[in-house]
């Protein structure tokens, strides 16, 4: 029987390889010597995890994107709106729970989304990005009822050494999505969980962004509280190979995930996006002044997203392929033009079906592996 998972493949490789003393070099000091604990007490997880799990993973920074996972889109996305269920008919119920037009909402045209998702996968594959498909089954279940927004596979953040699993700030039908992804990642790709956000921490980690290998953009909003971010940041820091990680914190406005009337946005990936080593796209009314100042003081060219593209097309919610090349929602023509004028290559991806449901390309993409990319603050430690 052929190996079923990456774990099986790696175990098979280890079983059949020719083992020598060289394989235990750090721990073997010559015939007749006892094992020393010293090498193990100097060993960083970053130096051993590939041997344990059999592959490199982690989508830090803005280096070349190599591997992602995308969800197959099915009618299950809209199951919570089924009239046999008690949610949609109750006035204000879904909205109070952060679901609906100002959160993760209904997909208006599932067929369109399916087509756009497949086209998006095609674009990624043409760009030599490995795409894994996530099959959620017919009726995935959340903690509190049917699950929705399985399309939002970017819920989990994969860093070197493992995945970080969010704890959400709203939306009962999304509790369990990150956990489902964690199980899939570990079983299928042998990518372990490094951290599950716990306690009363809230951190929707997949919506945070990198603008360089050593600059991570964190946030405070209904999607991240101090306790949650305090759990996440040490793990993120230990997963990088940079001497010092710069952390920006965007203090998002309002108390909704995304308000298409006012433009308020609770997710960092809806207001800031990397474009190049020295260029970012920002919905500037959604970014606090100290963050904008920091960017400009550190030599970043800030390209402003147009309001209409922000509220209608989630234009900042993009995926960077490599420095200077980005995948953007094809519908956001005004902002795309601005980005191109700044010298950034844009690959347009039609993604209109997802915007009304609350997200965009970044939200939909579980980023698994990137190559090392440029740093903004200091040189990286060699891998």
- Residue 317: which of 366, 367, 267 has the closest Cα? 267
87 lies in the binding site for another protein (CB under 8 A): yes
In the region spanning residues 142 to 161, those forming contacts with another protein, defined by CB under 8 A, are 142-146, 161
Does 383 bind another protein (CB under 8 A)? Our answer is: no
Q: Which is nearer to another protein, 201 or 359 (CB)?
A: 201
220: CB partners within 8 A, 6+ apart: 226, 229, 249, 250, 251, 252
Site for another protein in 43-62 (CB under 8 A): 43-46, 48-49, 51-53
User: Who contacts 154 (Cβ-Cβ below 8 Å, separation ≥6)?
Assistant: 206, 207, 269, 359, 362, 363, 364, 365, 366, 367
Assigned token pair, 238 = 């230990």
Contacting another protein within 223-282 (CB under 8 A): 225, 231, 235, 238-239, 255-256
How far apart, in whole angstroms, are the C-alpha atoms of residue 227 and residue 221?
Answer: 12
Q: Which of 37, 83, 91, 341 binds another protein (CB under 8 A)?
A: 37
CB 28 → another protein: shortest distance, Å? 6
**CA separation for the pair 364, 317 (Å, rounded):** 9
Q: Which of residues 92-131 bind another protein (CB under 8 A)?
A: 92-93, 96-98
Interface positions, 162-191, toward another protein (CB under 8 A): 162, 165, 167-170, 172, 175-176, 179, 182-183, 186-187, 190
Contacts of 226 (CB under 8 A, 6+ apart): 220
Residue 51 or 340: the one with the smaller Cβ distance to another protein is: 51
Q: Is 194 in the site for another protein (CB under 8 A)?
A: yes
Nearer to another protein, 4 or 340 (CB): 4
Give the x-and-dash track for 294-333 against another protein (CB under 8 A).
----------------------------------------
The CA distance from 340 to 54, in Å, is: 39
Cβ distance to another protein smaller for residue 170 or 355: 170
If one asks whether residue 220 binds another protein (CB under 8 A), the answer comes out as: no
CB 248 within 8 A of CB 218: yes
Specify the residue, 133 or 144, whose C-beta has the smaller distance to another protein.
144
Candidates 3, 14, 118, 244; binder of another protein (CB under 8 A) is: 14
For CA atoms 100, 104, 110, 112, give the dihedral sign.
positive
CB of 105 to another protein, least distance (A): 15
Joined together, the tokens standing for residue 270 give: 């809806």
Cβ of residue 237: shortest distance to another protein, in angstroms?
A: 9
Q: CB-wise, 145 or 374, nearer to another protein?
A: 145
Residue 197 near residue 156 (C-beta atoms within 8 A): no
3-state secondary structure (DSSP) of residue 47 = helix
Q: Does 23 bind another protein (CB under 8 A)?
A: yes
Q: For residues 151, 155, 157 and 162, what is the CA-based torsion angle, rounded to 10 degrees? A: -80
């Amino acid at each position: 029987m052929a190996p079923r998972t990456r774990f099986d493949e790696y175990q098979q490789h280890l079983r059949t390889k020719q083992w020598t003393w060289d394989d235990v070099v750090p721990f073997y000091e010559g015939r007749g010597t006892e094992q020393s604990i010293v090498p193990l007490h100097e060993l960083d997880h970053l130096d051993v995890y590939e041997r344990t799990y059999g592959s490199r993973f982690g989508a830090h920074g803005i280096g070349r994107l190599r591997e992602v996972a995308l969800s197959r889109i099915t009618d299950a996305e809209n199951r919570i709106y089924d009239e046999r269920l008690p949610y949609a008919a109750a006035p204000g119920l879904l909205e109070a729970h952060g679901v609906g037009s100002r959160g993760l909402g209904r997909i208006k045209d599932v067929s369109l989304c399916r087509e756009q998702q497949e086209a998006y996968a095609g674009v990624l594959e043409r760009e030599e990005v490995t795409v894994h498909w996530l099959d959620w089954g017919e009726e995935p279940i959340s903690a509190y009822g049917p699950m929705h927004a399985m399309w939002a596979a970017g819920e989990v953040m994969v860093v070197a050494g493992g995945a970080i699993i969010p704890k959400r700030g709203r939306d009962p039908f999304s509790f369990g999505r990150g956990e489902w992804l964690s199980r899939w990642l570990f079983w299928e790709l042998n990518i372990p969980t490094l951290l599950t956000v716990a306690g009363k921490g809230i951190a929707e980690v997949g919506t945070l962004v990198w603008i360089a290998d050593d600059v991570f953009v964190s946030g405070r909003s209904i999607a991240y509280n101090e306790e949650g971010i305090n759990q996440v940041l040490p793990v993120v820091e230990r997963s990088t190979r940079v001497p010092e990680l710069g952390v920006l914190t965007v203090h998002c406005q309002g108390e909704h995930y995304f308000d298409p009337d006012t433009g308020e946005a609770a997710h960092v990936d809806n207001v800031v996006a990397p474009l190049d080593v020295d260029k970012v796209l920002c919905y500037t009314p959604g970014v606090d002044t100290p963050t904008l100042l920091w960017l400009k003081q550190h030599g970043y060219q800030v390209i402003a997203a147009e309001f209409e593209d922000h509220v209608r097309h989630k234009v900042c919610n993009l995926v960077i392929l490599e420095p200077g090349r980005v995948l953007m929602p094809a519908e956001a023509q005004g902002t795309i033009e601005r980005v191109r004028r700044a010298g950034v290559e844009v690959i347009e991806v039609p993604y209109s079906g997802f915007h009304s449901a609350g997200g965009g390309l970044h939200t939909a993409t579980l980023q698994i592996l990137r190559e090392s990319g440029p740093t903004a603050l200091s040189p990286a430690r060699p891998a």
